[in-house]
A and B are shown apart, each in its own frame.
Chain A
């Protein structure tokens, strides 16, 4: 009888203890939860919020990533963290002080819906506000009013963004973020569309042109607007440079960047902007900007269509890691974007950007091995950026031990 009583008491105490444990977590886990939540969402987690204990208990059980997954469902993950990340990638000066546009909304929506991040470069979709919030103004290639209204009305991105397919019903080409108005205004506006090449590789492969330019590549793709006769001028009749020419200026400086850049810019030849509108030109009719200053060197490359080439010296570069199963040349912006999206630099770049965002520091040399592991997991997880955030945020290198 006494034994039964002891057993009963033990069981009762056990149950009580278990219940208490279910409602409590150590101060260490609570502190770690708060830090993890803050790093992922950008805002603090209130003591009264039931997610605090829920996350802390997961952390105590060694399930840190599941705890992080609770934070990535918070509305501020989209409003603060993803907005910061997308904003910087969206514009020429890489400033976060920009309002919402279709580029950023599409990035945020794709992360929320756990889409394959490669479709950010190749997809035929756009994210927009639910039509019941903003009745009269649809997303447009002419203006940004739709997205400005989302911010003006203080609508939260997580619950209000919806996917629109196709991206633009009146366009032949689509290449995810590269065919959004936001990207167009930043990179197809004026200029010669060389900027689009440089920034596509810089923003999505995290590789500035200084790191991928190659000296002494053939100049056969360099446009007519690039001066070959620095210090002198081109004599069309003699077909040579005349005057006090410094031939080294072209070969050592201009050619190093232009040979690779100009070979690729054909991919964007249908893309342009006119008075703030993003426009697509008819097939075989490259944007007029491709013919500007054609008298500078009339024998230079003429862009007739949207074909592009990634010179082999660049295509085989270890730093960019293009997929050798894909072609190094092709036609159209979508095929070009597919090559970028399937490079090893793309997945490492996404890992790096997520790391910098949630770890509050730029990755350094000592973090390279870690970034490689994150990039490989990112690929194994079907290029799911939300999971990449969860995995990165719990790293000791990020939030401490």
Chain B
């Protein structure tokens, strides 16, 4: 089968790889119909996630058709069209039982801090991902969800990560009607977080980034205010000035390790890997929040350390909430929102690219070429 093959920082290609096999009675083999490239895939692509091994296939946002099921799979059958949450969850451990499906303790032997994630290095379990024609899906009765009739594949694939992560970013903010919400990062997740903040009754939503075309997209799609931090003297001072000097009730970090905007963070976090990515957005989020406010973090950072103003967290009495999205917990509500047209994720998928052009797709997304918001890969076998 054809599959994306990681060869080193900034180098990926398409190769023939062996077909995946059932390795556990609760596995399924899925023929991929759509596979997105996620902003967090760029951390792998840039070589900043430890234990990213050459030869691995990335891809944690995908839909597909069930081709084969293990002997202990009861909820899925061959031929089902499914969307597959990015987190691999057993449904049995103490964390899954509490709805913390992003924190499953039975899916990743290599690290205890992070659960299992498709195609996301050995630090997240060593699974090959969905940027391929076929993929092995463990715990097939737990995560994969049959795509409802009438829902397009583009809508479904966005429910595997972007929509739940954006929604949970807003949810973790504990937004109450009238709250001012600031989102750092106008990537797909940040834009979705800004859109979802309104569903919780936000009174004002502000998004901050440095890419003008993305800010314009966010302004139209999420109906929010959008500002370029390059044209602001200091984004934190700007937020303070526009909130009567108090700060925002809720601030969302939807950037993570690749943040720009602070030379020291960029050098120590992105160029020399002396910290686990650049923490500029988190730094700004903490300093922009109102005293007693909430900082919600969905931006992905590496496993070591980051330089953030923790003293200000203490002195301002902030609450920090953070997690990988619990996709399975949120899916029923979010499927309803997509079906009712409350959330329309399709416009975020600006680039439909054949899997055969995976190297170019990564470059386009990484370098933000051709006004790309988000690319989705379509394998040649998707149309079988």
**Does B bind A?**
no
Interface residues of B (CB under 8 A from A): none
